[in-house]
Chain A
Amino acid sequence: MDEFEFFGNLSLGQYLPGTSIIHKLDARVKLAGATLLLVALVISTSLAATLFAMIILLCLTRLASVPLRNTVRSLRPIWPFIILMVVFQLLAFPGSPADNCYTLWQWETVRLTNCSLHLAVLSLLRLVDLVLLINLLSLTTSLNEIIHGVEHLLRPLGRLGLPAHELALIVGLSLQFVPLLAEEAERLMKAQAARGADFGRGRWGLVQRIRRMLPLLIPLFVNSLERSEDLAVAMESRCYLGSRGRTHWVQLQGRPRDYVVLFLLIVFSVILIVAPLP
């Protein structure tokens, strides 16, 4: 693996063009469905349901012909975090006997119970599920589709004074800048490595890594502020005035299959939440 490639592992905003049914699905359905599933996954406390969701998500990823490698790679950067969390939950939440928790293994004050085990496995599965879900959404939905979808979904809230168009624009621009920033960070890192900077490794790897980030952040910020200013000027010079009187090139049109998928996703989310599974 390349030393500077870790920015390439960012899955956010990396759209893989394709022709699968998931690619062709209406963006609104995908966004709403993903949000629903996300909520359901967070609420659900059932191991079986979470595992079931994982299988479904893996099948959908397969259906979208996203290479498995891509999925694995998107999980890589968060492994340390997941492991830390699992260990913490294993040891810190033994639960009480009143909740039917019994000790499985004990050493000094460290106690492992069935409850903490359950919690740890659950949060592990849940996190992987969430990554899979977000990965699937961002790999199969182009930025334009996301922007239009968000705008359409937020439009009803416009009556309450919520600026739907502007919010969608903000979402779109920030997503658009993620890969750009990553690219730029990579270029800066390389430029500094060419001047003898050493990114990580060694005994004080972590400390050094953090210290090395500072000279990276400064030009990154300066350049992105400059870029956003340029962008604002470019938009204004093309008479951008916000949502008022603005029509769209892309008209989202729901087809029967979109409604079917949305219905299925709602049913699936409800099952996840209310299922009487262990």
Chain B
Amino acid sequence: MSQPQPFITVRSLSYCYLRGTPLETPALRDLSLDVTQGEIVGLMGPTGCGKSTLLQHLCGLIHPQAGHVWINGVDLADPSTDLRLIRRRVGLVFQSPEAQLFERYVGDDVAFGPRNLGLDRPIVRQRVKDSLEAVGLDFAVFKDRLTLTLSGGEKRRVALAGILAMEPEALLLDEPTAGLDPRGREDLLNILRQWQTERHLSMVISSHNMDDLAYLADRIYVLYKGQNAFDGTARAVFAQPMRLQELGLEAPAMTALLATLADSGLPVPRQALSVNEAADAIESLWRAHGRI
């Protein structure tokens, strides 16, 4: 079998805000990245490391200043590329998207994207229904609710549904769980996982929350000051807590716990990503010591 085709390819991308003024700030420097079809890639790094800027490049909202971005073979740095077409194929959910709802009714807000695609009414309706249900909101109940009366968590789901309704081939999420309570966070992660399994699309997720990425991501890129500090499978990245700490990041709680145990000389794997894995490792440790 041939190697899976990269859906997103970034090569030596650099970007400066306010270029040519005394306030010039470099946001990305010589960054390269690959996302294959159907893969979930996590972006992680301290605030201001360029995660959001990178995501905006990937869906054609920012024109690359130097370097290249290819989406499914289309070069975004090429001036003749119509970025609007790219934006329709790659969906970006911005940070705190709930602040961006603007229609009176939930149904209309979710329909904004599909209507812009010029779809027929029944298809728009179907897409609104599908995507609202995908985010766990009942179509019949919510389509005529006023957006202003929704709770914070509901608003975020509606905003997510607004992107899902575009049926993008790749989904980019900027801090999708920031500011949600633990329950809301878990629900959102499950929604994303479910949607990804059903549609088999590529996803790029930026997050401060290591546990989110441990749960979702196949591979992780660690960004630092606009550069690629290191990358690898989620396990490989989280197995290096010292390196993460140097960059001001922390490994997921479970990985950190196991690392502490391993450091004190106990035979546990360092690479657990979920509570269950960690529990299994600790249980077998107890068994080995004959305590159970």
Contacts and interface: CB of A to CB of B under 8 A. Distances in A.
| Chain B associates with chain A | yes
Interface of A: 2-4, 8, 16-18, 67, 69-70, 187-188, 190-198, 215-216, 218-219, 222-223
Contacts of B113: 195-196
A94 B208 CA distance: 67
Contacts of A4: 61
B94 A190 contact: yes
Interface in B58-74: 59, 61-63
B94 A194 contact: yes
A190 B163 CA distance: 13
Given A215-B103, A219-B101, A67 B112 contact: no
B56 A190 contact: yes
Contacts of A69: 20-21
Which secondary structure characterizes the binding site on chain A?
A: helix
A2 B16 CA distance: 12
A67 B20 CA distance: 9
A195 B99 contact: no
B22 interface: yes
Given A196-B117, A219-B102, A191 B18 contact: no
A191 B116 CA distance: 13
Given A3-B63, A196-B87, 8 more contacts: A69-B20, A188-B100, A190-B94, A191-B92, A194-B91, A194-B163, A196-B84, A196-B166
B101 A195 contact: no
Contact of A16 (B21, B97, B102): B21
A194 B22 contact: no
Closest 4 pairs (CB-CB, A-B): A196-B116, A195-B113, A194-B92, A215-B102
A3 B87 CA distance: 13
A158 to B, nearest CB: 36
A238 B184 CA distance: 33
16 contacts: A2-B63, A8-B18, A18-B22, A187-B94, A187-B100, A190-B56, A194-B91, A194-B94, A196-B84, A197-B112, A198-B84, A215-B102, A215-B103, A219-B101, A219-B102, A223-B99
